[in-house]
Amino acid sequence: MTRVLVLNCGSSSVRYRLFDGTEVHAKGLIQQIGEEGGDAADHREALQNLMDRLDLSGLAAVGHRVVHGGERFTEATVITDEVVAAIEELIPLAPLHNPGALTGIRATRKLLPDVPQVAVFDTAFHATIPPEGVLWAVDRELTQRWGLRRYGFHGTSHAYVSRETARLLGTPVAETNVITLHLGNGASAAAVRGGRCEATSMGMTPLSGLVMGTRSGDIDPSLVFHLHRVAGLSVDEIEESLTRRGGMAGLTGANDMREVEQRLTAGDPDAELAFAIYTRRLREYVGSYLALLGRVDAITFTAGVGENSAHVRAAALAGLEPLGITVDEARNQRNDLIISADGAPVAVCVVPTEEELEIADEARKALSLPA
């Protein structure tokens, strides 16, 4: 069995999982790195402690989650000095995410100089989206000069759950069309035709598309000009508002869907409206991806909200029976893997995402290692 360590380094945290083949040998989370009372003074110390603790005998690879791969990284890539420099150059595209990953990569390469390391990018699965799904109708000189384009995120999750959906249905991946809905704190939709991504809702950054925990998702971009000119907010303040105080948090004060649902049950009108906005946006994306794909075999829910909220799943797909989309109430309440009625033209699935496992697989593949 090939042993692979998966690291997901954020700005102040390290999530880790050690795999023996597909089996999880160890996992955990180191938090508040660099903060007072935190688990470690810096990433180096956090990783050093971790590696002293873990049994890394026979470790064949380290897989690092990297959020932004830009235009260059369209697949998992074995890390060299040059790759590290290229990831560093992408920081302006992902200022909140790439620096943490880089710090983790640098520290791990020093601590484990003889173990090959692989960067696995959240953007890579979306590299197959055709240009008409990547570019916006914006002045092409600006587009080219400033590299304006959609990248999309949550790629490892969309890749994993779309493949798992085909497995669940017993159909070849290459012949299965799936709409995947990754609904966690961040949320995105993807249209996957025969294993290749054709559309996704996040854009150049993770701000666009679905309504999220604290991000607004799609808005009329003129809101930004209006808030600047009329309300006098700075660009940074507007960004902060749309990314940290938007979404469910902005609409209700609570970013956690469990809390929104509790308030909904208690009859809170703000929660009711927020829930309606959230689920209507989902339905709008499902409809547009149905039209893009033409034939859809399955719609798959995943991540914290998608895997657990029967209420969100039912409301998101309500009224779509004429399109062959049904949700069986009992199956939905049980969080069954398939929640549509038997024989329905479109299967509706709930597939728990396994991003770390997918990263381990990608790392093995990049190094041509056996499972």
Q: Kindly report the number of other CB atoms within 10 A of residue 361's CB atom.
A: 22
Q: Measured from the CB atom, is 117 or 309 closer to ligand ADP?
A: 309
Q: How is the beta sheet containing 196-200 ordered, strand by strand? A: 196-200, 187-193, 177-183, 298-302, 347-350
- Tell me the one-letter amino acid at 51: M
Q: How is the beta sheet containing 117-121 ordered, strand by strand? A: 23-30, 14-20, 3-9, 59-66, 117-121, 77-78
At residue 235, the 3 state secondary structure works out as helix
At residue 118, the 3 state secondary structure works out as strand
Q: How far is the CB of 308 from ligand ADP (least distance, A)?
A: 3
Residues classed as catalytic: 122
CA triple 363-70-225, angle to 5 deg: 140
Q: Is 64 annotated as a binding residue?
A: no
Q: How far is the CB of 322 from ligand ADP (least distance, A)?
A: 28
How far from chain centre, in Å, is Cα 346? 24
Which residue of this chain has its Cβ atom nearest to ligand ADP in the complex?
304
Q: Is 98 annotated as a binding residue?
A: no
Q: Measured from the CB atom, is 96 or 344 closer to ligand ADP?
A: 96
Q: How far is the CB of 88 from ligand ADP (least distance, A)?
A: 25
Q: Helices (DSSP H) in 57-201: which residue ranges?
A: 81-89, 98-111, 131-134, 140-146, 155-169
| Cα–Cα distance, 159 to 154 (Å, whole number) | 9
| Cα–Cα distance, 222 to 80 (Å, whole number) | 42
Beta bridge partners of 63: 6, 118
Q: Is 8 annotated as a binding residue?
A: yes
Spatial CB neighbours of 333, under 8 Å, sequence gap ≥ 6 = 310
Q: How far is the CB of 186 from ligand ADP (least distance, A)?
A: 5
Q: How far is the CB of 187 from ligand ADP (least distance, A)?
A: 8
Q: Is 354 annotated as a binding residue?
A: no
Q: Kindly report the number of other CB atoms within 10 A of residue 27's CB atom.
A: 12
Q: Is 183 annotated as a binding residue?
A: yes
Positions in the binding site for ligand ADP (CB under 6 A): 184-186, 213, 256-258, 261, 303-305, 308-309
Q: Measured from the CB atom, is 13 or 177 closer to ligand ADP?
A: 13
Q: Is 335 annotated as a binding residue?
A: no
Q: How far is the CB of 303 from ligand ADP (least distance, A)?
A: 4
Q: Measured from the CB atom, is 152 or 184 closer to ligand ADP?
A: 184
Q: Is 133 annotated as a binding residue?
A: no
Q: Kindly report the number of other CB atoms within 10 A of residue 55's CB atom.
A: 10
Q: Measured from the CB atom, is 8 or 108 closer to ligand ADP?
A: 8
Q: Measured from the CB atom, is 155 or 213 closer to ligand ADP?
A: 213
Q: Is 263 annotated as a binding residue?
A: no
Structure tokens at 356: 């770390």
Binding residues: 8, 65, 182-186, 256-258, 304-308, 355
Binding residues for Mg(2+): 8, 355
Binding residues for substrate: 65
Binding residues for ATP: 182-186, 256-258, 304-308
